Structure 1
């Protein structure tokens, strides 16, 4: 397994269902999410499905989603 320098390897998460937006393109530049037990959300890059994965608790995801909706990250390509 290649070294993981941020987060954890996705291969350590077994039996999770990864989802991405229906607006995603087929080029593999997508953010994928998986709901874990206890309200934790796993986040990964679809281009690198074996990792790394970032784990966010519910409050962190809510803050991130709110910031995206409020335009805090600039214009999002769509």
Structure 2
């Protein structure tokens, strides 16, 4: 697999196994995640599976997930 970098084509992440939340809707508008061999995590928009992927370190993902679980980003989906 080539070196993973932010904004690379998700299709170039050979062997990546993409997963989405069971809360995703049936229209396919989902965020998908894939753990990469070096431990980093790639993120893509399921509507554009060949489009760009963003790549995060485990520490970055941990900070984001803890913030999500703690409700820090609830304002993004609530009026």
TM tier, smaller = 0.7 to 0.9
| Aligned-partner Cα distance in 1 for 2:73–2:29 | 17
Match of 2:36 in 1: 36
Q: CA RMSD in A?
A: 1.6
Match of 1:3 in 2: none
Match of 1:52 in 2: 52
Number of residue pairs the alignment of both structures matches: 72
| Aligned-partner Cα distance in 2 for 1:15–1:37 | 9
| Aligned-partner Cα distance in 1 for 2:37–2:17 | 12
Higher percent of residues as strand: 2
Q: TM-score, normalised by structure 1?
A: 0.82
Q: Secondary structure at the match of 1:42?
A: strand
Consecutive aligned runs of 4 or more in structure 1 exceeding 2 Å deviation? none
Match of 2:3 in 1: none
In structure 1, list runs of 5 or more residues that go unmatched: 1-5
Residue 7 (str. 1) matches residue 7 (str. 2):
yes
Q: Secondary structure at the match of 1:59?
A: helix
**1:8 deviation in Å?**
1.2
Q: TM-score, normalised by structure 2?
A: 0.81
